[in-house]
Structure 1
Amino acid sequence: MFDNELELTRLAKADELRQMGISPYPHFLKREMNISEFKSKFGYIKELPEGERKAQEEVVISGRIKLKRVAGKSTFANIEDENDNVQIYYSLASIGEECYMKFKKNLEVGDIVLVKGYAFITQTGEFSLHASEVVLATKAISPLPEKFHGLTDIETRYRQRYLDMIMDRDVRGDFLKRSIIISTIRRFFEERGFLEVETPMMHPIAGGANAKPFVTHHNALGVDRYLKIAPELYLKRLIVGGMEAVFEMNRCFRNEGMDLTHNPEFTSIEFYWAWHDYFEVMDLTEELFATLLDKLNLGKIIEFDGQNIDFSKPFKRIKYLDALVEIGGLDREIISDKEKILAKLKEDKFEANDKLDLGHLQAELFDNYVESKLINPTFITDFPISISPLSRRSDENPEIAERFELFIAGRELANAFNELNDPIDQYERFKAQIQSKDAGNDEAHEMDEDYCRALGYGMAPTVGWGLGVDRLVMLLLNKKSIRDVILFPAMKPKN
């Protein structure tokens, strides 16, 4: 480690500084303001008459050296902190010959410095800090990539996110916006009376969504545990317990493939709301998006992946089976006939598992003929009951679930439904899921008898809603890959 020629040279310089009595890694250093505050406070000097454009007050700022130009007895450098950058100037005369000669050789791009001085305008008209004192705060051993090409290797950007952030201030800005999005969501629900809660990350039964779990082992109990696929079944237990509006924003884990929209560890938010229904939640979802667009200073029409997406309210609403016909272009006589669906899928070279029931085959039609066409925000409502094992049945049609999913830019972003609170119906549906698993659906729900027992004590009429936070951030920041919005995405080992 730290064994290439450039790193060995920097290690030698760090030792040389130590021999001079300068610690490469001092502490208890204090800056007085960040660079943005420095620029704001002393920006007035730009308006002063030429020859007088400098401040009288000295202040202390800090930053990482991103560029350095030595011109004999003087040096210009550009330093950058979290949000901004500024040029600094120091010379043999301004910081003293001894200090200047030490740093002329041993202060390099990548090092972090503390600088004391006053604001001034250079002869070329650039706002800068004229240094009277320079202190090395941290010596960088690994050199930064060459400035004009930056960090171009995508794999390195994701594996070494810290380097990605050093080289590209916009990357730091993206993750600042992600934080703003998350805090806005949290505040949105808290202001509407929702209580944020925490549920277990390790579950005795993998449930709450159709997905493959990660399995771990609890040594003290001597049993396997499953990392959280979704918090749903625990949150609904809280509704049974008397809480009427709860949400959780946390990590979930699914042991599945990785692509532009999937990471095995991801962030989601789910809420459960007693005495409300899925029609009201569609309205609430529209309101949430309006709040987020306003907070990020985005208009009602935003660009994502080369497409303009219109968030004007109300969002389009269309029933699942109608979407297969009106958007997917399928004949209505096909969509309710299992054999005709299988024939259509095979004809168009899509996989067709004849062991699947009608609802799951309709889902195959939706995935292949409809989903990619849903660009503007669209609520798809009233799903087949067999692909909605936790949803309440429609009173009008028991084969339909009172459920919606929100699609934007050809991707599912949110899922919601009126919750099934009939314990007998829920128990029977869990049994049907076991049969589905036996038929080859290895993502089907497990039997959760304790959850059925909880429903037996009575759960008020409730609606539940879930949203993928990472995909939401991708959409709002116009990022094609989920890796661009997760600080440290999962990566295949190098070796």
Structure 2
Amino acid sequence: MSNEQTSLRLEKLETLRSQGIPVYPERFSANYELAEASLLEDGISDVRVAGRIRGIRNFSKFTFITISDIAGSLQLLLNKEEIGESSFQQFHNSVDIGDFIGVEGHMYTTRTNEKTLRIQSCVFLGKALRTLPDKWHGLSSIETRYRQRYLDLIMTKETQLRLLARTKMVRAIRRFLEDQHFLEVETPVLQHTSSGAIAKPFRTYHNSLDTELNLRIAPETYLKRLIIGGFTKIFEFAKCFRNEGISPQHLQEFTMVEGYAAYWNYVDTLKLMRDMILFILEETFGTTTITIKGRMIDFSLEWDLISFRDLILRDTGIDIDLYPDVKELYRETKRKNIDLEHADLEVLGRGNFIDLLYKKMCRPQLVKPTFLVQHPIDLSPLARANDQNPTLTDRFQLVVNGAEIINAYSELVDPLEQRRRLEAQALLKSSGDLEAMEMDEDYLTAMEYGMPPISGWGFGIERLLMVLTDSDTIKDCVLFPLTKKV
């Protein structure tokens, strides 16, 4: 804080203090938000608003000031004749762009048709000691935008709109699920095992209990324990942590919305999720038609539905049903000159190998909303096997613009079958597949007390926002993305 601009601002701060003016006062009583005030009729008086100064345009006898917050901005007029010479000079001698002020006055419209508040009184509300970035150039450094998100929110309209949309989206999801009689619950972040998904966990240590713990990768098994305990329709906004590689579509810390309904199957959930997405779009953006990669997509139209096998066959020419052994499948991809660009291909189980093949060759082609169904069972250790074909699961994923935004199952509720599958996963883990699931005896014990038919679903808030706002990277969809320590 040693540059020339900061020194000048510190001098102004001390001048204000010497005049007995509080530079960081306790409060200001506003009666309108800035966005509300900008819609008021001309002539309305006693309007009190506050905000950060984003622009000052000086003329000899008057000054136009723009103040803003996350949701809106308002032009103010400071007129020397209306507020007096001393107050006019006081403002110009002590106030900088970036400072906070509170004002009272009445509304009028300028000759250039801009809603403006004519200031009758002005109160200083906070000094900025650092200069904001140049408003015309904004924040060009991506690293700065993530590391100092508060500056990005001040300077970048796109960021403001996107992250306000996130808040609206969360509110819409809660309202939709509560209207469908789902109850919101909370489950532990610190867990003894990393069950509920296929991912590598973050590990931590509990000093008092003298034990290793994982940060949860999913809330699944605890939510299912609640179904066992008598809840029938539940959901959770769950912070989850996965120690995965960095990519434009992955965060290591993210918000998962996961829910379960007793006595439902995945077809019931599929209908619920479609209705939910349409509700989110209407509530968040006011439309069901959005632009993705330059294409207008109307989500209210019928969505595609395709099986995992048919999709891979269509895009690669490989029928995965003909290769029950992962080594044969690996050889077939080599024969087709498909490079999966993965360091540990030969230790992957069949499920994770097929998943990699799909993610590399098929998923990027799915732009319109598409329900992907009939996943191989070795890809879904917690899903119910299909009654007609036990090698497949009763599961769907919703894919939009090459991103999986919802994952849903008819859940596996047979404790003996669950034990067999977790044992198979544990074997894969011991053979070097770091993303395979581990054994969870406590969950198996809970299952043995009996479970009803269940369907469940999960999706990441950031991934959904990324797709619906056509963002290039998922980091743009979280308020404070993790960055390297400087």
TM-score over 0.5 for the alignment? yes
Aligned to 1:104: 92
The alignment status of 1:166 with 2:154, answered yes or no, reads yes
Distance 1:40 1:367 in 2: 48
- Change in Cα spacing, 1:21 to 1:299, as seen in structure 2 (3 Å) is closer
Pairs within 5 Å for 1:323-472: 323-330=311-318, 335-336=323-324, 338-346=326-334, 347-350=337-340, 351=342, 353-472=345-464
Work out whether residues 38 and 73 of structure 2, in 8 Å CA contact, stay in contact via their aligned partners in 1. Answer: no
Question: What residue is the counterpart of 1:147 in the other structure?
Answer: 135
Which segment drifts farther, 138-147 or 31-40? 31-40
Letter in 2 for 1:100: F
1:15 equivalent in structure 2: 14
What's the secondary structure of 1:199's corresponding residue?
coil
The residue that corresponds to 2:167 in the other structure is 179
* 1:80 and 2:68 are equivalent in the alignment: yes
Specify whether residues 392 and 3 from structure 1 end up closer, same or farther in structure 2 by C-alpha distance, changes over 3 A only.
same
Structure 1 contact 150–167 (Cα < 8 Å) conserved: yes
Q: Is the 8 A contact 1:406 1:412 kept in 2?
A: yes
Quote how far apart the aligned CAs of 1:358 are. 3.7
Q: Which amino acid aligns with 2:339?
A: K
Q: Report the more deviating stretch, 29-38 or 349-358.
A: 349-358
Partner residue in 1 for 2:483: 491
Instruction: Report the 3-state secondary structure (helix = DSSP H, G, I; strand = E; otherwise coil) of the residue aligned with 1:41.
Output: coil
Task: Report what 2:310 is aligned to.
Answer: 322
CA distance, structure 2, for counterparts of residue 191 and residue 126 of structure 1: 41
State which drifts further: 223-232 or 168-177: 168-177
> 1:393-445, CA deviations, whole angstroms, 9 ceiling, x for partnerless residues?
22222222222222111111111111111111111211111110112111111
Residue by residue over 1:175-200, the C-alpha shift from the partner in whole angstroms, topping out at 9 and shown as x without a partner, is 22111111111111111121111001
> What letter corresponds to residue 158 of structure 1 in structure 2?
Y
Matched, 1:290 2:278: yes
Which region of structure 1 is more displaced relative to structure 2, 102-111 or 88-97? 88-97
Once structures 1 and 2 are overlaid, which stretch shifts more, 384-393 or 83-92?
Answer: 83-92
Structure 2: which 5+ residue stretches go unaligned?
Answer: none
Alpha-carbon distance in structure 2 between the residues aligned to 1:390 and 1:326: 27
Give SS of 2:39's match. Answer: helix
Q: What residue number does 1:28 align with?
A: 27
CA contact (8 A) 1:270 1:464 kept: yes
User: Which residue pairs with 1:279 in the alignment?
Assistant: 267
Tell me the CA shift for residue 465 of structure 1: 0.9
Q: In structure 2, what is the Cα distance between the partners aligned to 1:248 and 1:205?
A: 19
Do the aligned partners of residues 18 and 259 (structure 1) sit closer, same or farther apart at CA in structure 2, a change above 3 Å counting? same
> Which letter maps to 1:372?
P
1:103-123 CA-to-partner distances (Å, cap 9, x unmatched) read 212111111111122223445
- Residues 59 and 330 of structure 1, relative CA distance in 2, 3 Å threshold: same
Q: What is the deviation of 1:357? A: 4.2
Q: How far has the Cα of 1:75 moved from its partner?
A: 2.1
8 Å contact kept, 1:321–1:335: no
Would you say the 8 A contact 2:371–2:397 is kept in 1? yes
8 A contact 1:324–1:335 mirrored in 2: no
- 8 Å contact 1:248–1:271 — kept in the other structure? yes
Q: Which moved more, 1:74-83 or 1:11-20?
A: 74-83
What is aligned with 1:266? 254
The 1:84/1:353 distance shift into structure 2, 3 A limit, reads closer
Aligned to 1:216: 204
Query: Secondary structure of the equivalent of 1:421?
Result: coil
Instruction: Determine which of 108, 123, 136 is the counterpart of 1:135.
Output: 123
Answer whether contact 2:403 2:467 (CA < 8 A) is retained: no
The Cα of 1:234 is off from its aligned counterpart by: 0.3
Which amino acid in 1 is paired with 2:442?
A: D
Equivalent residues, number: 482
Question: Structure 1 residues 331 and 384 mapped into 2: Cα distance closer, same or farther (>3 Å)?
Answer: closer
Counterpart-to-counterpart distance in 1, 2:55 and 2:218: 47
Secondary structure, aligned partner of 1:401: coil
Aligned to 1:474: 466
Does the aligned pair in 2 maintain the 1:206–1:213 contact within 8 Å? yes
Task: Give 3-state SS (helix, strand or coil) of 1:366's partner.
Answer: helix
Give the aligned partner of residue 48 of structure 1.
none
Q: 1:335, 1:362 within 8 Å by CA — same for their partners in 2?
A: no
1:61 deviates by 1.9
Q: Structure 1 residues 272, 260: CA separation in 2 closer, same or farther (over 3 Å shift)?
A: same
Match runs of 1:198-217 below 5 Å: 198-217=186-205
Task: Work out whether 1:39 is the aligned partner of 2:38.
Answer: yes
Mapped contact 2:265–2:455 kept (Cα < 8 A): yes
C-alpha distance in structure 1 between counterparts of 2:27 and 2:356, whole Å: 62
Report the CA distance shift for 1:124/1:224 in structure 2 as closer, same or farther (over 3 A).
same
What residue number does 2:48 align with? 60
**Take 2:34 and 2:356, find their aligned partners in 1: how far apart are those partners?**
55
8 Å CA contact 2:309–2:319 kept in 1: the answer is: no
Which range moves more in the overlay, 160-169 or 266-275? 160-169
Shift of 1:124: 5.0
Compute the RMSD of aligned alpha carbons.
Answer: 2.1
User: For residues 262 and 347 of structure 2, what CA distance do their matches in structure 1 show?
Assistant: 37
Secondary structure of the residue that 1:400 maps to in structure 2?
A: coil
Counterpart residue identity of residue 338, structure 2: D
Q: Contact 1:70–1:104 (CA<8 Å) still a contact in 2?
A: no
* Counterpart contact for 2:349–2:433, Cα < 8 Å: no
Alpha-carbon offset, residue 459 of structure 1: 0.3
Deviates more, 1:426-435 or 1:99-108: 99-108
> Aligned pair in 2 of structure 1 residues 105, 189: CA closer, same or farther (>3 Å)?
same
Cα pair 1:110 1:143 within 8 Å, conserved: yes
- In structure 1, stretches of 5+ residues that fail to align are 46-54
Secondary structure of the equivalent of 1:479? coil
| Paired amino acid for 2:434 | D
Q: Distance in 1 between matches of 2:427 and 2:473?
A: 36
Q: Mean alpha-carbon deviation: is it higher for 194-203 or for 401-410?
A: 401-410
Residues in 1 aligned to 2:298 and 2:106: alpha-carbon distance in whole angstroms: 49
Question: Does structure 2 conserve the Cα–Cα contact (< 8 Å) formed by 1:433 and 1:445?
Answer: yes
In the superposition, relative to structure 1, how do residues 284 and 167 fare at CA in structure 2: closer, same or farther (>3 Å)? same
The CA distance in 2 between the partners of 1:192 and 1:14, in whole Å, is: 54
Q: What secondary structure does 1:135 align onto?
A: strand
Q: 1:328 and 1:290, CA in 2 relative to 1: closer, same or farther beyond 3 A?
A: farther
> What SS does the aligned partner of 1:37 have?
helix
Q: CA deviation at 1:150?
A: 1.6
TM-score between both structures, scaled by the size of structure 2: 0.93
CA contact (8 A) 1:207 1:229 kept: yes
The whole-number CA distance in structure 1 between the counterparts of 2:214 and 2:320 is 41
**Residue range with higher mean Cα deviation, 403-412 or 84-93:** 84-93
